Amino acid sequence: MRKIIILSLVVLLSMGLVAQTKRTKKKKPAPKPVAPVEVTLPERCFDCFFAVKLEADVPFGPTEPLRGPGYVNEIHRDAQTKNVFEQEHNTVWYTLDIPYDGKLLIDIEPKSYSDDYDFLVYKYTDKYFCNRVEKNRVKPVRSVQSVTNTEKKGKTGLSLEGTMAHISKESDAAYGKSLDVKAGETYVIVVDNLTDGGLGHTIKCEVWTKFAPLNIQIMDSIDQQRTTAHLYVKEVETGRVVTDRQNVGKTRLKLLPDMTYDIYIDKENYFKSYKRISYAQATGKDTNYVARLVRIKPGSNIPLAGELYFDNNEAGELVVMQESYPVLDAVVKILTEYPQINIDIIGRVATEGLNVRKDNEYSKRKAEAIKNYLVSKGIPETNIRTRGSSIKELEAQLKSQEKLKSGMLNPPCEIKISSKR
């Protein structure tokens, strides 16, 4: 009887614990979005001579709060100069180099909707520009001094829909008219927060023109997670540096008509990535380029920037064809840069399964042909091992072909890091 009672109590207690677990088990709350870190403004950027350099199409901010007019109060209104602030309140100066022809658009987004932001746009003249502004000898080409528009959440700027070059404080129009700009010109933007004790802002300057968009994502090839790296993009035809930024994980670039772009991505302990892309490749839709960076560690494949082609020479030896030299020259450059790396070259071939042993031998010859080329370029032979596709690998390849039902697979040869000294 006592055993029955004890067992009953155990069952009841177990049921109670299960019920309690079910009651207390709740869904994890969704993570709160992390507020972007404020940008610390450079010293003295509250004066014209020390303006912050902006990059077209790249947002800057959110900034720390603006405090005062700086050491020099350059802006003041007189009878001949009316489209400027009556005085500076809490200002910061920016400068923007125009990279290509188009229409200048500006978006200024306050952190607080109640802050009252005004701004002026000047066309830069020469090294005496700031002195000319202070003496009212240069006039703004755009000015927006309207009252805060709550419907726009305090935002202001220049837009394609804007109709007025100069907007006075009596208006509630938040956006002025866009400005036609030319490549090589420089513009100076002075932003003023009339609200003492207010917060900072984010500013983005865009040069609107015909373009194709390119979305770039940088991933780790092993864990398939997004990572950050140094991104450098150059316009081939003009030599213009489109962007040169650190810690980029995802970004969007404009590809201009008739232009080609070289994209370089590098990160410590990873192989460098390179890609060339043109406007024609991205016309009509968003183009996504996912750069998968390969870690420099045993087991990683050295990236091959193209196909490898083989042929028999006059002596009957299998050699790498000339059109494949640039691909292997890039590998030579990597192995020269990282002399501590030892590699395995694995030959791969297409197979019908009729004679896998013959296919195995041919894949070995491919690996040897690659090795011979690398050695001829100065890579130590002792750093290289070669092998072909094993019988098991070829049989697995045949099974994959049967599942895909798409004919023979022709897998690329591999150059794999075997060890690091």
Q: Do 201 and 54 share a structural domain?
A: yes
The distance from CA 45 to its chain's CA centroid, rounded to whole angstroms, is 27
Q: Do 198 and 53 share a structural domain?
A: yes
H helical segments located in 237-384: 279-282, 325-337, 356-376
The distance from CA 152 to its chain's CA centroid, rounded to whole angstroms, is 29
Tell me the mean pLDDT in the region 163-184.
94
Tell me the mean pLDDT in the region 193-217.
94
Residue 330 lies inside a defined structural domain of this protein: yes
pLDDT tier, 33 (very low <50, low <70, confident <90, very high otherwise):
low
b/e sequence 249-265, b meaning 16+ C-beta within 10 Å: eebebbbbeebbbebbb
Q: Do 254 and 188 share a structural domain?
A: no
Position of tokens 């959110």? 62
Tell me the mean pLDDT in the region 378-402.
91
Count of structural domains, the chain: 3
Q: Can you give the CATH number for the domain in which 315 is found?
A: 3.30.1330.60
Q: Do 377 and 275 share a structural domain?
A: no
Residue 15 lies inside a defined structural domain of this protein: no
Residue 23 lies inside a defined structural domain of this protein: no
pLDDT for 283? 67
Residue 7 lies inside a defined structural domain of this protein: no
pLDDT for 40? 93
pLDDT for 137? 92
Dihedral pair phi/psi, residue 66, rounded to 5°: -85, 140
Q: Do 341 and 283 share a structural domain?
A: no
pLDDT tier, 381 (very low <50, low <70, confident <90, very high otherwise):
very high
pLDDT tier, 29 (very low <50, low <70, confident <90, very high otherwise):
low
Q: Do 254 and 323 share a structural domain?
A: no
Position of tokens 């900072």? 200
Q: And the tokens for 290?
A: 């996912």
Q: Can you give the CATH number for the domain in which 252 is found?
A: 2.60.40.10
Residue 61 lies inside a defined structural domain of this protein: yes
pLDDT at 124 over 90: yes
Q: Do 241 and 112 share a structural domain?
A: no
Domain termination site, one of 208, 238, 259? 208
Residue 37 lies inside a defined structural domain of this protein: no
* C-alpha triplet 305, 309, 312: angle, nearest 5°: 150
pLDDT at 21 over 50: no
Residue 234 lies inside a defined structural domain of this protein: yes
pLDDT at 10 over 70: no
Residue 302 lies inside a defined structural domain of this protein: no
Dihedral pair phi/psi, residue 245, rounded to 5°: -130, 145
Pick 128 or 151 by higher pLDDT.
Answer: 128
Asked if 324 and 306 touch (Cβ cutoff 8 Å), the reply is yes
Q: Do 228 and 199 share a structural domain?
A: no
Radius of gyration of the chain (CA): 32
For residue range 234-286, list pLDDT tens digits in order. Answer: 999 999 999 999 999 999 999 999 899 999 999 998 988 888 898 888 765 66
* Helix/strand/coil for 415: strand
pLDDT tier, 5 (very low <50, low <70, confident <90, very high otherwise):
very low
d(CA 342, CA 58): 41
pLDDT at 133 over 50: yes
Q: Do 238 and 187 share a structural domain?
A: no
For the residues of 371-420, what is the DSSP string, one character each? HHHHHHTT--GGGEEEE---HHHHHHHHHHHHHHTSS---PPPEEEEEEE
Q: Can you give the CATH number for the domain in which 184 is found?
A: 2.60.120.380
Range of the domain at 358: 310-420
Q: How far is CA 223 from each of CA 19, 219, 294, rounded to the nearest angstrom?
A: 39, 8, 10
Q: Do 167 and 281 share a structural domain?
A: no
Domain termination site, one of 233, 267, 293? 293
pLDDT for 9? 43
pLDDT at 225 over 80: yes
Q: And the tokens for 244?
A: 């040169």
pLDDT for 420? 78
Q: Do 184 and 111 share a structural domain?
A: yes
d(CA 156, CA 282): 32
Torsion over CA: 70, 72, 75, 78 (sign): positive
Q: Do 173 and 79 share a structural domain?
A: yes
The distance from CA 382 to its chain's CA centroid, rounded to whole angstroms, is 39
Domain termination site, one of 293, 318, 342? 293
**Using the 8-state DSSP alphabet, how is residue 312 labeled?**
E
- Beta-carbon count within 10 A of 198 CB: 21
pLDDT for 22? 45
pLDDT tier, 18 (very low <50, low <70, confident <90, very high otherwise):
very low
H helical segments located in 124-253: 129-134
pLDDT tier, 24 (very low <50, low <70, confident <90, very high otherwise):
very low
